Amino acid sequence: MAHTRRIPKPLDPARLEELALAYVARFSTSRAKLETYLARKLRERGWDFASPPRVAELAERFVEAGYVDDLAYARSKTGSLMRRGYGMRRVGQALGAAGIEPEVREQVAPEEAQRRAAALVMARKRRLGPFADAPADRALRQKQIAAMLRAGHAMDHIMALLGSAGIEDAEQWAQAEGDCEG
């Protein structure tokens, strides 16, 4: 006997709010991501109510209630990505994709020391520059630079880190107060 897939009921205001509550309870999210999620659910399941769905109003209520906080989300996402070794450009892209406003992105922008620490994490994790098993030839060095650029790091940070004489030199660079801005 073949199992037929149950078609979910179309949404109404109560079910839409239940979905939104379940989503914010489960995931740290931004207002824009919540709205995108609800719009997707509406496309998938349809709407079973006389008046049109009010996704923006529902999201605004959640913001006012404190269930959704773009600033807190941006701080958390920025910290997470920086700890994983991603640079500012990549962090900015992730926050932009989550619908975080430029003013909020500016508020949570990491300091120079955090940017250097993130570059060091990436180099250590990917075994680049002074963390590599052997010195890099020209082609390998270009690949290392490209990997750091894709991770969102500034070129001056990449060159300083990959040009380090050794691990200790790289760690000292990462801890130095910003003599180069990036």
Mean pLDDT by 10 residues, the chain (182 residues): 77 94 96 97 91 94 96 97 97 97 96 96 96 92 96 97 94 78 44
Range of the domain at 148: 71-175
Q: What is the DSSP letter of 47?
A: B
58/114 same-domain check: no
Q: What is the DSSP letter of 129?
A: G
List beta partners, residue 47.
Answer: 11
The two tokens of residue 83 are: 């700890």
Predicted model pTM: 0.85
Q: How many domains does the chain have?
A: 2
Residue 90 belongs to some domain of the structure:
yes
41/91 same-domain check: no
- Amino acid symbol at 60: E
List beta partners, residue 11.
Answer: 47
The two tokens of residue 9 are: 């009921």
**Domain boundary pick from 48, 68, 88:** 68
In percent, how much of the chain has pLDDT > 70?
Answer: 96
Cα dihedral sign, 87-88-92-98: positive
Among 149, 97, 140, residue whose Cα is nearest residue 119:
149
